[in-house]
């Protein structure tokens, strides 16, 4: 079988797929999905929750962000927001914004971290 084969051989009962072949298959499927729907499908969802502790301002946007834990809340079957029981570490890279414990906030997955982008504050 070559990369250009239109009809690769079919697997038979008992055949095994090697780790490298499985990784290649996974990469191929993701490549097709990205071409059809764009890269945004691989991005995690935004989350809403309540800060468990104070999220102070960063001392440097580039190298010293602040962090805190946020309880993730989600809608239940009645449409009410309830604590999911899951916590995430959120990051604040803003130099002039800090948030007290108990603040409802939203975070978005950016560059490998949950960054607070909105909060219900004064």
| pLDDT for residue 43 is more than 90 | no
- The pLDDT assigned to 44 comes to 59
Between CA 122 and CA 116 the distance in angstroms is 16
- Identify whether the C-beta of residue 54 lies closer than 8 Å to the C-beta of residue 68: yes
Which one has a higher pLDDT value, 5 or 49?
Answer: 49
From the list 66, 40, 36, the residue with the least C-alpha distance to 53 is 66
Write the pLDDT tens digit of every residue in 70-122.
999 999 999 999 999 999 999 999 999 999 999 999 999 888 899 999 999 87
Write the pLDDT tens digit of every residue in 1-10.
555 667 777 8
Hey, which bits of 3-103 come out as E strands?
A: 47-51, 66-75, 81-92
Q: Across residues 5-31, what is the average pLDDT?
A: 82
- The pLDDT assigned to 40 comes to 56
- At CA 71, angle to CA 85 and CA 64, rounded to 5? 140
């Amino acid at each position: 079988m070559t990369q250009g084969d239109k009809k690769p051989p079919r697997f038979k009962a008992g055949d095994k797929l090697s780790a490298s072949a499985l990784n290649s298959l996974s990469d191929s499927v993701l490549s097709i999905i990205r071409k059809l729907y764009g890269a945004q499908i691989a991005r995690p969802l935004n989350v809403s929750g309540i800060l468990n502790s104070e999220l102070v301002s960063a001392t440097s946007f580039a190298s010293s962000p602040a962090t805190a834990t946020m309880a993730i809340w989600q809608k239940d079957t009645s449409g009410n927001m309830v604590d999911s029981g899951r916590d995430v570490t959120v990051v604040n890279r803003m130099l002039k914004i800090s948030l007290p414990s108990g603040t409802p906030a939203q975070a978005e997955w950016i560059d490998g971290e949950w960054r607070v982008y909105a909060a219900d504050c004064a």
